[in-house]
Amino acid sequence: MFAHPVAPTRSATGAGSSLSAALAWRTGLWSVATALTVNITVLVLARGLGADMLLRRAETEPPMAIGVGMIALMTIAPMLLATLLLLRLRRSGTRAWRVLAVIGLMVAVVTVPAPFTMIAGTDTQVALACMHLAAGAAWFIAVRRATSSKAQ
């Protein structure tokens, strides 16, 4: 398929050794790019299939249109914060990164119901829930790949 740009270069060898800052940035930015691409694709497909992509928190509030800008912000911001955690944990080794990969995936799964608590069409809610899963999967796969023993 496609070559994965997260080349797992390490600043030292061994399971407990520190990981490079460059690897942290490559891993984080690769996961952001992947999640953003998938999430925008989901947005375009959902709109093409008839989802209005309008969301309200309460009946009395005006609907909020979910567009590319909102998707980009809500995808990029949390994943960049997670990338900063990778940077902070790089001296703790691969185990810490693997734990962070699982935590990121768990956050994505736990937040899947969030769109269903808002007032929106079911098609919009399903599209937004899929975006949560896409971001979590992109994060998990990128971080696990960066720490895999095959890639080292």
Q: What's the pLDDT tens digit per position in 52-85?
A: 999 999 999 999 999 999 999 999 999 999 999 9
Q: Look at residue 142 and tell me whether its pLDDT is greater than 70.
A: yes
Q: Is residue 16 part of a domain?
A: no
Residue 22 makes CB contacts below 8 A (sequence gap 6+) with 9
**Per-residue pLDDT reduced to its tens digit, 89-123:** 989 999 999 999 999 999 999 999 999 999 999 99
Q: Is residue 9 part of a domain?
A: no
**Tally of structural domains, the chain:** 1
Q: Look at residue 126 and tell me whether its pLDDT is greater than 50.
A: yes
Q: Look at residue 31 and tell me whether its pLDDT is greater than 90.
A: yes
Percent of the chain with pLDDT over 70: 86
Q: Give me the pLDDT at residue 13, please.
A: 39
Residue 20 makes CB contacts below 8 A (sequence gap 6+) with 9, 10, 11, 90
Q: Give me the pLDDT at residue 1, please.
A: 41
Q: Is residue 2 part of a domain?
A: no
Between the alpha carbon of residue 8 and those of residues 13, 25, 42, 90, the distances in Å are 11, 11, 29, 12
Q: Are 34 and 131 in contact (CB under 8 A)?
A: no
Q: Look at residue 150 and tell me whether its pLDDT is greater than 60.
A: no
Q: Is residue 90 part of a domain?
A: yes
Q: Give me the pLDDT at residue 51, please.
A: 97
Domain limits for position 125: 21-147
Q: Is residue 5 part of a domain?
A: no
Q: Is residue 27 part of a domain?
A: yes
Q: Which amino acid is at 127?
A: A
Q: Is residue 10 part of a domain?
A: no
- Average pLDDT score, the chain: 89
Q: Select the more confidently predicted residue: 66 or 15.
A: 66
